[in-house]
Amino acid sequence: MPSGACDCHVHVFDPAYPLAATASTVPPERARLADYRKVQAELGLTRAVLVQSSGYGFDNRCMLAALAELGANGRGVVTLAPTVDDATLAQLHAAGVRGVRFMMLNQPVLSWDALLPMAERIAPLGWHVNLQMDGAGFAHRLQELANLPVPLVIDHNGKFLTPPGVDAPQFQALRSLMDNGRCWIKLSAPYETSRTGAPDYADVSLLARTLAQAYPQRCLWASSWPHVGRANPPRDADMLSLLRAWAPDSDTLRRILVDNPQQLYGF
């Protein structure tokens, strides 16, 4: 692995922090930061971006505690109530937070109405919006997302719950967002939406490979560890091997794993 390789989507859980009443899934038993550090070492990764799990709602304490332990090699993405004050934003920035998550699936705790006001609040900090939604809605949300005053980071190859072909309107809408130069995409978690299945997840892999070839300067990679809600989670090494299939060129691989995360998250 190239030095400084980054995993851009990791969740952590700890029984010391109670789940929110809105939690829809039970986290795996071994999902603390110490458990992830073993995976990180096995894969040869150096940096990690901790993303607030929807299971904790607006309570970011578990993620922030793990972020403090990661130090300079960690960054965080939080979920914030629209009423958050400027002092809290400043404290979160100092702690290594660089984005706000909008998880728009499975009983979202934030509404679409909160998207633009939150983006305007975080713009002075240089943060981004991290969005997860069914990619079938990109065409409907295209102008709204394209006009955000902050960078937009989209999860899991667009998270198309029904993977489309590369010429389908919904995938072309995602490409329109990528074309504006301020949108980033995580090449990750094909198992969540693939209809063709393991080991190569051919339908989602086609989307990921197309994105990696067309937008190598704004693609990221993520394990999505610990694969919440999966009775039979994939091997993380297999997920990393898929990236090599999507982006076989060594320069592109380094860009996705090192250079792009360094630019976006400010490592």
Classify residue 176 as exposed, middle or buried by CB count within 10 Å of its CB (0-12, 13-18, 19+).
middle
pLDDT range class, residue 25, cuts 50, 70, 90: confident
Query: CA 124, CA 212: separation in Å to the nearest integer?
Result: 30
Please state whether the peptide bond connecting residue 226 to the residue before it is cis, i.e. omega within 30 degrees of 0: yes
**Confidence (pLDDT) at 31:** 96
Q: Which two tokens stand for residue 176?
A: 């329109």
Task: Give the helix, strand, coil percentages of the chain, each rounded to 5.
Answer: 45, 15, 40
Q: Stretch 142-155: mean pLDDT, rounded?
A: 98
**Confidence (pLDDT) at 26:** 86
* 63-92 tens-digit pLDDT: 999 999 999 999 999 999 999 999 999 999
pLDDT range class, residue 24, cuts 50, 70, 90: confident
* 234-258 tens-digit pLDDT: 999 999 999 999 999 999 999 999 9
Query: CA 115, CA 120: separation in Å to the nearest integer?
Result: 9
Average per-residue pLDDT for the chain: 97
pLDDT range class, residue 106, cuts 50, 70, 90: confident
Q: Is the pLDDT of residue 41 over 90?
A: yes
Q: Are 188 and 223 in contact (CB under 8 A)?
A: yes
Q: Which two tokens stand for residue 126?
A: 């240089």
H-type alpha helices, the chain: 33-43, 61-70, 86-95, 115-122, 138-146, 169-179, 202-214, 236-246, 250-254, 260-265
Domains of the chain: 6-265 (3.20.20.140)
Q: Is the pLDDT of residue 22 over 90?
A: no
Query: CA 267, CA 264: separation in Å to the nearest integer?
Result: 8
Write down the pTM of the prediction.
0.97
Query: CA 176, CA 138: separation in Å to the nearest integer?
Result: 10
* 180-215 tens-digit pLDDT: 999 999 999 999 999 999 999 999 999 999 999 999
pLDDT range class, residue 96, cuts 50, 70, 90: very high
